[in-house]
Chains A and B, each alone.
Chain A
Amino acid sequence: MSVNKVFRIHPTINFARIGTSKAYYLSPETSAGLPLAGSATTGGLPIKPGTENEVIAATDLRDEDGYLKRQAARFRLYYYELDGPDAYPCPAKPAEVVKGTTLADGRVVKDIIWTVHLANKKAASYNVVPLVGINAFQDGFPQLRNPQVYGTTGTVADPIRLRNLVIDPGPRAVSAIANNKAKFNAKTPASYCSNGKIEEITAYPVTFPAGELHYPAGKLDSLGEVLTDEQGRLLVLAAHGHTAAGIDEYGDPVPCTGDLNNASWYDDAADGPVSATIVFEDGSFQEAFNAWVVCCDPAYAPQIRNVVSTWDDVYDTWVREMNLQPELFDAESFNPAFLPAFESMVRPVFRAALLQRWTVNLPRMAVKAHEAVDAITGADNPDKTIMAGLNFIRNPNLTGTPQSEVNTGVPLMPLSVGDAGTSFLTVTKTQYFFLEQWSRHQFIDGEGQQLGKGEYLDMASLSNCLGGRYVPGIEMSYIVRSTDIYQQDWQTTGAGPFRLKASPLNYASANKAPFLTAGWFPLQEDLSGLEPGDMTKFMAIPWQTDYNSCSIHQPSINTSGVNKTNGNGTTLYWSWPAQRPDAVYVSNQVVNNVLPKQQWAIRGKGTYSLDTKSASTFQKANQSVKDWDKLGIVVQGTVIGPDYDPDYYLEVQNQFDETIIPDNPALEWPFNTSPSANNPI
């Protein structure tokens, strides 16, 4: 069999994060909250630009003028020589490819031409339906966003709607040797790689929100930019968090009142394919398997691990539905002989449980229990630990049965609010299987399967994002569980797993708007692939209002307002606290490493609420699109200063008015919405 020589971009999905500064740092290449060999600092921290892997300090989060730095998504290129069908982990050991690399077969890399196409289709798409999630596409489609823009057909594919509502600056290509930059705005010409060269598309039909608009925090005129670093790796920068609102018939900006589907509003989140053409000294060239970039919210707590991350959902989908590892899951069931590795497959859940305390108002009792969970090692007898019998983990295999635990609260964990239609979160079935195996003593100590460098980046990138609760999520939504979006022929083509399938676009004929279509939607048996903007269109518009409101909820927010839990319907829980901190310890209030009272993560002017359900929130959604950058970031004591306890994760760099002594520190959980269900005698 001939060797299949392929190039793959890693991470397969990476995240550029919005910020107000022109400056940036690089996307993390480690996994949130997990220990790293030789370092007291845990994973998940972004990287200083110009370095291989030096993590940022707390002082690197904002620029010298106080603006919040952006996170550039750094993509690397790897060369694989595959000897037969692929497997996961890949048996071939990849080598990173940069400018000037000589490959194992003697070819010398002269240039790498990267092409990225960002778009935002949110305003042209369908509403997020929080109660049903992806099932909104089961027997039809949700209501269109902005139905007032009717076009000629009033459908999602209507060209007039697409032309008016889709933000599409077109693709941008940059060259490693030219070291050029390109912005995704209306001024910079669109370009792409054709036959190993950058071609401009002078007639590309760029579309941005037009007409009379209100810009609360700056004009929405760009979706970001691309450039290469000195080695020729790609950096994708997100935009600045600008939004735009239409003007109503009275001449006023359309108010931003909702959480998920604000009509006449736009934001500058975006996503799209990332491709690379490797040009060799001999003039030949080869395409790499593409990656995808998502431009989304800032990482407000980059080291706080989600109990269920996007990685957990993506991996679970690939394991159970795409035959990723037949030795783990074959056809219909998990293999009881599979031995998960404690450090990489079991411990992340335990670690995540502990870390939640830094972004929510957990009581001391829960913190102590979580500390005992995190203290479990691979050398411990599971029966002697606090997790014996998996007594406190909600079983996802029971969901949909009479024994379902998705509405059963404490002491079952995770404690946060669940996915659409469920009161509480569950770990994925794969996570639960790993835990069960551990509980049965069927595991191995250590890291287990060795991922290749690129595969590790795939995992790390996704593990730093929110999973489990996609109502609609903040970086990506429930569609990460749809097999249709991925390159399913990964084993034979050499694409490798976890790679989104890009719909081919004919840039040579791009001269008339709309260039992009309505794109891909779930549950339609559509295997044609994704267009730019097809990932983020399932997210809230603007993202800031969703971020703002997704703090503290009654679980009935997911169950049509009906309390289906086993407890008081007024009891409050957290939405997705690892990604959206609710309560934090402020670093400059720590004295001699004595933790201060927890403060709400969003506080100060415009945030006070009589009802704790609305605490830690800008009370007016309009403020969230202006002040989202004022929030602090939760990072580990190790990067705050030498005097801080390395086990602490504290809020730094907030821009709230700290001259006001806070009088509403976070209440200890459990707490209730007001008015209480009870009336005191």
Chain B
Amino acid sequence: MSTENLAVADPHWNLKHLYEHIQYAADLELWTIPFYMSAMYSVVNRSAEPFQLIQSVLHQEMLHLQCVANIGNAYGYRPKISMPVYEGQTIPHLDFNLDVPNPTQNYQPYTAEIGPLDMSRINAMCLIEYPEWDSATQPSLKQNIKEYANIGDFYRALRYGASLFKDRIKGGVNQVNYFSAYYRLMPGMTITENGNAGFNQVSMLIDLITDQGEGSNASQGNDPLIANFQNTADDPEQSADHFEKFEQIKNNTSLQDTYAFKPLSDYTDYDRQLIEILKENFNKLRNRLDALFVGENPDDFIPAMVSVGAAIQNCWKNGVTPQFS
């Protein structure tokens, strides 16, 4: 990472901190994609509400990754697309236990491991998108900058840091734009301007991420997304945020049927081949995302992205739990 110390208004922040936050944002958004996608494709009924709600969230997580990369590139930082890790209860850069009151009490059990849509996963999904409790306090770096209580808190800090380096913003650098047609009321999905005008765009994209994700803060209830941030094409509940959608799934009396899956010990050679194909596809996707965010135009980016979903579905249909690394 190429960073430099820079004297700014807030001595706690330097450009390195901003870059770190952008990278953490990319890590977090990327992490959700295989996790949500695997849970979604485990649902047998593709028309069922849980499948459709998760799919709508998943598409927005892809959008969020694009937004983070566009913000990063505007500041001269290219997020790296690292292999996400799915272990225990660890979700990158979030520590739900820091929240007051601690929301994990309401979302037990939960797991960060790849698997079918069950109560453990839907709880984890709710926690990831859990609203910030108090947005009135001054955002600042945590003592341990890798740990925020919730995603809203994290992005508030990112916005704060970004605001300190407006003069670093250069519009039109390696900007990616795949989703505009799905958001007809959105002024734009890229950073095209420099300086203050560019920061307005950065701020708007952060608003987009947080509003779609956790929605307004918890004390304000379930306000609908502002119209500009609503998917105008294919969202079953376009005004609902991710947390609201996941809560809806959780609160359903019964979860949808998911594909039966085998224990690892029962895997055949063919099953293991399916896993290798998925890993290969996912690595390819990471590689293409890396290329995309440095301004290259990988011709097979879209097929690579679509093929990951196909490989996950293929795993579940054969009773195999997806693996990415």
Contacts and interface: CB of A to CB of B under 8 A. Distances in A.
Given A363-B181, A386-B303, A388-B307, A567 B234 contact: yes
Interface stretch (A13-21, A282-290, A673-681): A673-681
Nearest to B274: A383
Interface stretch (B26-34, B41-49, B82-90, B99-107): B41-49
Contacts of A369: 302-303, 306
Chain A interface, DSSP helix/strand/loop, else mixed: loop
Interface string A373-411: 000000000011111110110000010001111011111
A384 B278 CA distance: 9
A369 B226 CA distance: 31
B277 interface: yes
Nearest to A408: B47
A398 B45 CA distance: 10
Contacts of A676: 184-185, 232
Interface stretch (B189-197, B261-269, B309-317): B309-317
Interface string A128-144: 00000000000000000
B234 A671 contact: no
B300 interface: yes
Contact of B311 (A388, A670, A671, A677): A388
Contacts of B238: 568, 677-678
A410 B46 contact: no
A150 interface: no
Contact of B45 (A383, A386, A403, A671): A403
Given A388-B307, A389-B314, A391-B309, A681 B234 contact: no
A570 B47 CA distance: 19
Contacts of B277: 383-384, 388
A107 interface: no
Nearest to B316: A389
Interface in B292-310: 299-303, 306-307, 309-310
B9 interface: no
A412 interface: yes
**Interface footprint category on A:** 35 or more
A671 B181 contact: yes
Contacts of A388: 277, 307, 310-311, 313-314
Interface string B237-254: 010000000000000000
B260 interface: no
Given A410-B234, A568-B233, A672 B310 contact: no
Given A369-B303, A388-B310, A670-B233, A678 B185 contact: yes
Contacts of B313: 388-389, 391
A679 B181 CA distance: 16
Contacts of B302: 365, 368-369, 372
A668 interface: yes
A409 B277 CA distance: 27
Nearest to B47: A408
Nearest to B238: A568
- Tell me which of A365, A405, A667 has the highest count of chain B C-beta atoms within 10 A of its own C-beta: A365
A559 to B, nearest CB: 14
A405 B46 contact: yes
A463 to B, nearest CB: 27
A567 B46 contact: no
A442 to B, nearest CB: 14
B310 A570 contact: no
- Tell me which of B178, B233, B317 has the highest count of chain A C-beta atoms within 10 A of its own C-beta: B233
Contacts of B44: 403
A670 B228 contact: no
B232 A387 contact: no
A134 to B, nearest CB: 24
B93 to A, nearest CB: 29
Given A369-B303, A383-B277, A403-B46, A567 B227 contact: no
A410 B111 CA distance: 29
Contacts of B303: 368-369, 371-372, 386
B306 A412 contact: no
Contacts of A389: 310-311, 313-314, 317
A571 interface: yes
- Tell me which of A372, A568, A681 has the highest count of chain B C-beta atoms within 10 A of its own C-beta: A568
B14 interface: no
A670 B234 contact: yes
A392 B238 CA distance: 22
Interface in B41-88: 41, 44-48, 52
- Tell me which of B48, B52, B184 has the highest count of chain A C-beta atoms within 10 A of its own C-beta: B184
A386 B285 CA distance: 13
Contact of B310 (A391, A567, A571, A677): A391
Given A388-B310, A391-B309, A568-B238, A408 B232 contact: no
A404 B46 CA distance: 9
B174 interface: no
A383 B273 contact: yes
Contacts of A384: 277
Contact of A678 (B47, B52, B232, B311): B232
Contacts of A656: none
Contact of A365 (B178, B227, B299): B178
A566 interface: yes
Nearest to B311: A388
A385 B306 CA distance: 10
Contacts of A398: 47
A399 to B, nearest CB: 11
A388 to B, nearest CB: 4
Given A369-B303, A680-B227, A566 B236 contact: yes
A392 B234 CA distance: 15
A669 B233 CA distance: 9
Interface string A171-199: 00000000000000000000000000000
A677 B232 CA distance: 8
A412 B46 contact: yes
Contacts of A412: 46
A105 to B, nearest CB: 55
A566 B47 contact: yes
Contacts of B307: 372, 385-386, 388
A402 B45 contact: yes
B231 interface: yes
Contacts of A386: 303, 306-307, 310
A671 B314 CA distance: 31
Contact of A680 (B45, B228, B311): B228
Given A372-B300, A386-B306, A672-B233, A407 B226 contact: no
A680 B230 CA distance: 10
Interface in B207-238: 226-228, 230-236, 238
A681 B227 contact: yes
B233 A403 contact: no
Contacts of B228: 680-681
A482 to B, nearest CB: 29
Nearest to A670: B233
- Tell me which of A371, A388, A409 has the highest count of chain B C-beta atoms within 10 A of its own C-beta: A388
Interface in A403-452: 403-405, 407-412
Contacts of B310: 385-389, 391-392
Interface string A11-40: 000000000000000000000000000000
Contacts of A403: 44-48
Nearest to A372: B303
A568 B232 contact: yes
A407 B47 contact: yes
- Tell me which of B235, B274, B302 has the highest count of chain A C-beta atoms within 10 A of its own C-beta: B302
A412 B313 CA distance: 13
Given A388-B310, A391-B313, 9 more contacts: A368-B299, A372-B306, A383-B277, A383-B311, A385-B307, A388-B307, A568-B232, A568-B234, A681-B226
9 contacts: A372-B306, A383-B277, A386-B306, A388-B314, A391-B41, A405-B47, A412-B46, A670-B181, A677-B238
The 8 residue pairs across chains A and B that have the minimum distance between CB atoms:
A389-B314, A567-B234, A372-B303, A670-B233, A389-B313, A368-B302, A388-B310, A678-B227
